[in-house]
């Protein structure tokens, strides 16, 4: 019984690299590509989508891998076949570069604006408190206010 278990463990250990390489054919990681590509109908990554369109794209992806194409060639062919919406992220070139730059700029500008905004709020708060101390009130109004405050404390 122990020999059988040892043989099974040895076979699994020997076949593990072959199983791992089945998903990475000729330097192309098929699973990674399926995460980087979307189904055009349900907008989900190919790795999780089971729609007919996703199945067609997965089939085409495997055909392109079998032809020996590189990852970029595969992406280009799929974009030609199914449109740009098949890409999960826009390319980092041309006009699509704005999709990568603009969010980063907005975050940086927001972070840079924080000190100015907080100084403005603090200055406005100081001005409101300073204005409250400089109230011109008649002696009768001040006496009435003090009486109200004393009655409130009781």
CA 111 to chain centre: 19
Helix ranges restricted to H, 98-153:
98-133, 139-153
Q: What are the tokens at 66?
A: 């079998």
Which tokens hold the place of 85?
A: 């919406």
- Taking only the tens place, the pLDDT of each residue in 114-147 is 999 999 888 887 776 665 555 677 889 889 988 9
The H or E element spanning position 24 is: strand 24-25
* Domain 1-89: assigned CATH number: 1.10.8.640
Cα–Cα dist 53/37, whole Å: 12
CA dist 24 and 17 (Å) reads 11
The pTM of the full predicted model, rounded to 2 decimals, is: 0.47
Sorted by where each begins, the domain ranges of the chain are: 1-89, 95-154
* Residue spans of the chain under pLDDT 50: 19-25
Using the structure block, give the residue that is written with the tokens 């975050």. Answer: 107
């Amino acid at each position: 019984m122990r020999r059988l278990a040892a043989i099974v463990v040895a076979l699994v250990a020997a076949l593990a690299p072959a199983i791992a390489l089945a998903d990475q054919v000729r330097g192309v990681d098929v699973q990674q590509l399926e995460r980087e590509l979307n189904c055009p109908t349900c907008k989900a990554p190919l790795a999780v989508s089971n729609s007919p369109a996703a199945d067609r794209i997965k089939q085409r992806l495997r055909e392109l891998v079998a032809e020996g194409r590189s990852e970029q060639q595969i992406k280009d062919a799929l974009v030609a076949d199914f449109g740009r919406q098949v890409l999960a992220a826009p390319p980092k070139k041309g006009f699509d570069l704005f999709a990568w730059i603009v969010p980063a700029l907005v975050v940086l500008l927001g972070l840079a604006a924080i000190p100015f905004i907080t100084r403005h709020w603090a200055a406005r708060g100081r001005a409101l408190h300073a204005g409250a101390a400089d109230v011109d009130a008649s002696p009768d109004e001040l006496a009435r206010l003090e009486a109200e405050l004393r009655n409130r404390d009781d």
